[in-house]
Structure 1
């Protein structure tokens, strides 16, 4: 159920609008909504409903309207929304969650926007706020002075938001958009000096100096004729600023570098309308990644956290010294400024969305240390970002989640986690879907979650700008999918996992790559020992080494092999190794119910173009999995340029590895999968992304 004051008075539930009746009944509701959760005396209602002397039966009329409103709200299911219209003596109280009122949501969105400090975030927030308006405020109420005053106050708040939106666009260097937004408001409010001043600056920066100066002289004449006053400081200041710039040889400056703290788009579009009115549709032209640099001037975090050390084989994880709690209950690895476990002092939810720590995690000391170095570096004043990349089944998710649990104490305002389904069954997760989940977890009421991805992204960044928050984005398909989900605060950190290198994030967001390789013989045998027991592995170390080779050193494949042996306690390791030597059965045996290496590879190959999939199938026919670009071109029947481009894409997706210049390798398991034109590889079970290890 939603209540509308910013336009015609209305109450909607679902897609239906409740019938509220005549103007006086709507006016009673409006007055109660203007003072929600506050008792409103009956006398105040009477005074507001009648401009002249109220009739003798006014009290009875108001009571009747309240009674009908109570019945209408009840029919609309008000109780389910926590809404109650109560009587308290000779006063009334409309009890409800204030976020159900559009004027309240408008005020909160405007309050979150910071046009100068974070203009790229402010633009979608302010647009979302102004989008709540459906016409003049309090339309449909009586025309008494109290309602006129309330409508005027709401209109002032709207104009303030319009001015702020114009300033945000101007800070981003988007002066065409600023002029388009401010123009219509200035026409309707020709004496509002702050609005005119903003329009003058926007017009000047688009090269329309004469239009800008004409607005000043027009407004000066109106002020003198209608109010008998001269222009105030804001209007006069804009006029003098333009004159000084002209004298200094200024002009169109829209392509200038955006102000500090903003990521601009490189300036407005060209063209000056012959009529002198601004062009453009006023839509946002935020930067490609939609983020704002809010870390300027923030106190840096000392990035001296200790990296985790390896746990012994067969232990639950690799926490070691770095994962041990200190005396105050926080983990070591907290940055040395002492803020790690004490929280940021901000109010609101502190979500803990991390999945459970990975079972029997061990090794990966270098990668965990690399994540620590990247994610606890507070010297840049920016929000650190790491990308954990590697082939399917290599353990990217496990590594990221392990680190997140080890250093959860360094992020007392919460840890967010989302599976982006970039390489899973069905469609990848839309940014708007993930942002909605994040905003709800951070305490945003469902009614206040913006419908557009851009506004939701801006609201997310605004909410976490001053928090110490960790965001783990798992299984990303592309950089574009990730960018709207990145927090902007300097005390936030983000870990992304993907089968792709996500070079775009490296280029635009200074992401630091942390690559994961397959396990060697010693590490692979240790993983088998952790899952099967060290004695079972120690009785046949040669077979353990062979199993690691047959599994290509992939943790996912080794875990599936361990599952087969766990289900068959009488089997020796050598028996499974013998079965896996049969290439026709290997992929099927390296599957365990809803997970397996074939399922994981299927998701990677499904994201390839038809040309790249054919190239991969051709590479799979290589005798030993080693080849160069010339041999690849011969196998695929492609020209050299087309082959090289395809090899680059397959390498980026970790389906092929470039060991040295023009030396490519394809793993045995990938070869086996690619040789099967159906993409089933003899696997007995299907489903699952298989990248959970």
Structure 2
């Protein structure tokens, strides 16, 4: 869900725009968005909505608009985004993540830009910021003085950003671009001396001295006629600078960069294509290729002449060991020359980051899921950054599937592949977005001292750097949609794969994520996996035992790999001997563990993320005789009322701890039952240790 103030007042979810109703209702929303997460008194709303004396029923009118806004936001799924319109006495509070407001994102991007110190960084950031504007600010609100003042303040910020973008291009020696950007703004704001001064300098450096001087004289006349004042210091300074340069024989300087000005803060020299134009709310312009550093900033070892970042994040799970030109804000198109990445400003060159874990060992099957990922992630017809969510129960092989696809199609993403374990279902805390973004920015070549400390600023810089790259991002082990959103690239040539035990319905709603579900393995697939790990002859000598092992492991690749590890360590054992041992439910979870890899440890991490009510419900479901039940039986087992039971079943299903095979037909797997029956979550696997080993 996104809120727009920089143009017509609007609320969008995905590609749909919510119907906000009349101007006064839009104005109420706008005033709350201008003061997000702050209580706004009812009296302030009334004073802002009526220019004249408000009517006697003004309080009722405002309350009605707030009520309708609350209902509209709820219909749009506001709760999933952490959005709440609350009443506090005689005041209202719109609670939401501020990055959902375009004016806030605009401010973050402008604050990141340093036109003089880091001009090549500033150009994409400022272009992205200005690309958020869709017309005059606060369009559609009432025309009262408070809203006029707020719109004027936002417009001042826009013009300041335009001036800064012009200065950044000028510092890079790109004076034609600077002149084109500043010209239209100067025409619409002929008394804004900073704009005129910047335009004069740009025109002079392109060899148009007479045009530059004419702008000065025209502005001086307007200032005198309309305001009765003389030009200020900035305008006079530009005029005198041009005159001195002319007297010294200066002329067109567009072909040369100012000394020291063409470098970013890191000292690197940007390519001539750093001013790649065009902006969108999804992200800024591209950054330079990464320098091959790891996510921790350590130097990568050269491999076959290519700097490669070492694998970071997690081990293999479940036992598996852009150069398109774009429109500028001035309407021109400015391409990025071959071999140069526009707008990074990092000034650091190197091989693209390759952060993928090694391919999963003995990966078999999943052809349908791999094909679906290919369809979703390589679709270049939408103009959007494709996003897929690989979801399924603990131990089903989500990470293995995502990493396998990433290696198969790495060539489609020549600008790099990023990988991060979000630790959504690990023993410790989940990874905060700022930490992951910092790792990504370092891997992309951003100097450590220029990595923003806030998640919002780091997210903006990340989107700017990768906007024009062909980059793959793999986000493993996500707990929630909110954890993922700041890490999503915005460029149409980037693709993202997320793995999670949760369905992440929020990402489907907000970012048009395409779900790719993984199911447990059937008898043939499970036996093939055992054969790949143990050798086909050992499995072929007792196919019935192999089928039984698949059943005892619930068809989970993680459990089957752990079983194969047990048999590998005992080469004289036949498959039937392990099957007999696994029939003992008291020992099964312990036997399906191998050091830090085990199904019990994986399930423990899933259950640890449940609320106390849902954990009790899962324990109650585990007492079912055959693992099949409906909502009524579940309510009886748990002692909950029907509504509470249904809500709990929905959450357990969303977490893949319970399956809904048909309407009101639920199943719980045998291994989940065995784990949930033990109140302490031990299930006989006291030696399984810490990490899950599951791809989560």
Bin the TM-score by the shorter chain: 0.5 to 0.7
The aligned residue for residue 39 of structure 2 is 39
Go from structure 1 to structure 2 and tell me whether the alpha carbon gap of 1:180 and 1:272 turns closer, same or farther (over 3 Å shift): farther
Go from structure 1 to structure 2 and tell me whether the alpha carbon gap of 1:667 and 1:186 turns closer, same or farther (over 3 Å shift): same
Q: Do structure 1's residue 355 and structure 2's residue 357 form an aligned pair?
A: yes
Deviates more, 1:43-52 or 1:312-321: 43-52
CA shift, 1:692, in A, is: 3.5
Note if contact 1:341-1:410 (Cα within 8 Å) is conserved in structure 2.
no
Note if contact 2:390-2:517 (Cα within 8 Å) is conserved in structure 1.
yes
CA shift, 1:84, in A, is: 54
CA distance in 2, matches of 1:92, 1:626: 47
Deviates more, 1:284-293 or 1:666-675: 284-293
Note if contact 1:500-1:653 (Cα within 8 Å) is conserved in structure 2.
yes
Matched position secondary structure for 1:99: helix
The aligned residue for residue 508 of structure 2 is 506
Matched position secondary structure for 1:549: helix
Matched position secondary structure for 1:471: strand
Go from structure 1 to structure 2 and tell me whether the alpha carbon gap of 1:572 and 1:303 turns closer, same or farther (over 3 Å shift): same
CA distance in 2, matches of 1:25, 1:640: 38
CA distance in 2, matches of 1:148, 1:466: 37
CA shift, 1:151, in A, is: 30
Note if contact 1:163-1:182 (Cα within 8 Å) is conserved in structure 2.
yes
Deviates more, 1:82-91 or 1:162-171: 82-91
CA distance in 1, matches of 2:665, 2:315: 35
Deviations 1:17-36 (A, max 9, x none): 99999999999999999999
Deviates more, 1:384-393 or 1:70-79: 70-79
Go from structure 1 to structure 2 and tell me whether the alpha carbon gap of 1:414 and 1:220 turns closer, same or farther (over 3 Å shift): same
Deviates more, 1:460-469 or 1:268-277: 268-277
The aligned residue for residue 672 of structure 1 is 674
CA distance in 2, matches of 1:150, 1:411: 43
Matched position secondary structure for 2:436: helix
CA distance in 2, matches of 1:54, 1:631: 58
CA distance in 1, matches of 2:638, 2:40: 80
The aligned residue for residue 537 of structure 1 is 539
Note if contact 2:675-2:683 (Cα within 8 Å) is conserved in structure 1.
yes
Go from structure 1 to structure 2 and tell me whether the alpha carbon gap of 1:673 and 1:456 turns closer, same or farther (over 3 Å shift): same
Question: Which of 472, 487, 503 is equivalent to 1:485?
Answer: 487
Note if contact 1:377-1:384 (Cα within 8 Å) is conserved in structure 2.
yes
Go from structure 1 to structure 2 and tell me whether the alpha carbon gap of 1:685 and 1:231 turns closer, same or farther (over 3 Å shift): same
Go from structure 1 to structure 2 and tell me whether the alpha carbon gap of 1:587 and 1:319 turns closer, same or farther (over 3 Å shift): closer
Note if contact 1:123-1:168 (Cα within 8 Å) is conserved in structure 2.
yes
CA shift, 1:122, in A, is: 9.0
The aligned residue for residue 695 of structure 2 is 692
Go from structure 1 to structure 2 and tell me whether the alpha carbon gap of 1:658 and 1:160 turns closer, same or farther (over 3 Å shift): same
Q: How does 1:565-644 map to 2 (within 5 A)?
A: 565-644=567-646
CA shift, 1:489, in A, is: 0.7
Q: How does 1:445-484 map to 2 (within 5 A)?
A: 445-484=447-486
Deviations 1:628-656 (A, max 9, x none): 00000111111111110000000000000
Go from structure 1 to structure 2 and tell me whether the alpha carbon gap of 1:34 and 1:335 turns closer, same or farther (over 3 Å shift): closer
Go from structure 1 to structure 2 and tell me whether the alpha carbon gap of 1:628 and 1:65 turns closer, same or farther (over 3 Å shift): closer
The aligned residue for residue 343 of structure 1 is 345
Note if contact 1:41-1:90 (Cα within 8 Å) is conserved in structure 2.
yes
Go from structure 1 to structure 2 and tell me whether the alpha carbon gap of 1:415 and 1:464 turns closer, same or farther (over 3 Å shift): same
Go from structure 1 to structure 2 and tell me whether the alpha carbon gap of 1:273 and 1:138 turns closer, same or farther (over 3 Å shift): closer
Note if contact 1:8-1:136 (Cα within 8 Å) is conserved in structure 2.
yes
CA distance in 2, matches of 1:297, 1:207: 45
CA shift, 1:224, in A, is: 2.0
Matched position secondary structure for 2:306: coil
Go from structure 1 to structure 2 and tell me whether the alpha carbon gap of 1:232 and 1:348 turns closer, same or farther (over 3 Å shift): farther
Go from structure 1 to structure 2 and tell me whether the alpha carbon gap of 1:578 and 1:381 turns closer, same or farther (over 3 Å shift): same
CA shift, 1:685, in A, is: 2.1
Deviates more, 1:89-98 or 1:323-332: 89-98
Note if contact 1:389-1:516 (Cα within 8 Å) is conserved in structure 2.
yes
CA shift, 1:371, in A, is: 0.4
CA distance in 2, matches of 1:448, 1:530: 48
Note if contact 1:3-1:12 (Cα within 8 Å) is conserved in structure 2.
yes
Deviations 1:221-276 (A, max 9, x none): 99328996799999999999999999999999999999999999999999999999
Deviates more, 1:396-405 or 1:127-136: 127-136
Note if contact 2:275-2:343 (Cα within 8 Å) is conserved in structure 1.
no
Matched position secondary structure for 1:476: coil
Deviations 1:143-177 (A, max 9, x none): 99999999999999999448669999999999999
Deviates more, 1:214-223 or 1:636-645: 214-223
Deviates more, 1:17-26 or 1:327-336: 17-26
CA distance in 2, matches of 1:367, 1:529: 22
Note if contact 1:310-1:365 (Cα within 8 Å) is conserved in structure 2.
no
TM-score, with structure 2 as normaliser: 0.57
CA shift, 1:680, in A, is: 1.0
Note if contact 2:289-2:350 (Cα within 8 Å) is conserved in structure 1.
no
Note if contact 1:301-1:337 (Cα within 8 Å) is conserved in structure 2.
no
CA distance in 2, matches of 1:324, 1:223: 37
Note if contact 1:352-1:415 (Cα within 8 Å) is conserved in structure 2.
yes
TM-score, with structure 1 as normaliser: 0.57
Deviations 1:599-637 (A, max 9, x none): 000000000000100000000000000000000011111
How many positions carry a matched residue from both structures?
693
CA distance in 2, matches of 1:222, 1:200: 16
Deviates more, 1:518-527 or 1:292-301: 292-301
Deviations 1:467-519 (A, max 9, x none): 10000000000000001111111111000000000000000000000000000
Go from structure 1 to structure 2 and tell me whether the alpha carbon gap of 1:393 and 1:426 turns closer, same or farther (over 3 Å shift): same
Note if contact 1:418-1:473 (Cα within 8 Å) is conserved in structure 2.
yes
Matched position secondary structure for 1:305: strand
CA distance in 2, matches of 1:317, 1:564: 13
CA shift, 1:425, in A, is: 1.2
Note if contact 2:125-2:284 (Cα within 8 Å) is conserved in structure 1.
no
CA distance in 1, matches of 2:620, 2:85: 72
Deviations 1:111-157 (A, max 9, x none): 99699999999999579999999999999999999999999999999
Deviates more, 1:31-40 or 1:46-55: 46-55
CA distance in 2, matches of 1:278, 1:330: 15
Deviates more, 1:105-114 or 1:666-675: 105-114
Deviates more, 1:223-232 or 1:54-63: 54-63
CA distance in 2, matches of 1:667, 1:621: 12
Deviations 1:362-397 (A, max 9, x none): 100000000000001011011110000000000000
Deviations 1:65-96 (A, max 9, x none): 99999999999999999999999999999999
CA shift, 1:540, in A, is: 0.6
Deviates more, 1:528-537 or 1:282-291: 282-291
Note if contact 1:310-1:320 (Cα within 8 Å) is conserved in structure 2.
no
Go from structure 1 to structure 2 and tell me whether the alpha carbon gap of 1:270 and 1:463 turns closer, same or farther (over 3 Å shift): closer
Deviations 1:339-368 (A, max 9, x none): 999999996540000000000001000000
Note if contact 2:276-2:343 (Cα within 8 Å) is conserved in structure 1.
no
CA distance in 1, matches of 2:33, 2:239: 42
CA distance in 1, matches of 2:278, 2:317: 74
Deviations 1:574-603 (A, max 9, x none): 110000000000000000000100000000
CA shift, 1:690, in A, is: 2.4
Structure 1 gaps, min length 5: none
Deviates more, 1:125-134 or 1:166-175: 166-175
Go from structure 1 to structure 2 and tell me whether the alpha carbon gap of 1:29 and 1:370 turns closer, same or farther (over 3 Å shift): closer
Go from structure 1 to structure 2 and tell me whether the alpha carbon gap of 1:333 and 1:621 turns closer, same or farther (over 3 Å shift): farther
Deviations 1:396-443 (A, max 9, x none): 000000000000001000000000000011000000000000001011
Deviates more, 1:677-686 or 1:382-391: 677-686
Note if contact 2:223-2:231 (Cα within 8 Å) is conserved in structure 1.
yes
CA distance in 2, matches of 1:274, 1:313: 38
CA shift, 1:219, in A, is: 12
Which of the two has higher C-alpha Rg?
A: 1
CA distance in 2, matches of 1:202, 1:335: 22
Note if contact 2:131-2:281 (Cα within 8 Å) is conserved in structure 1.
no
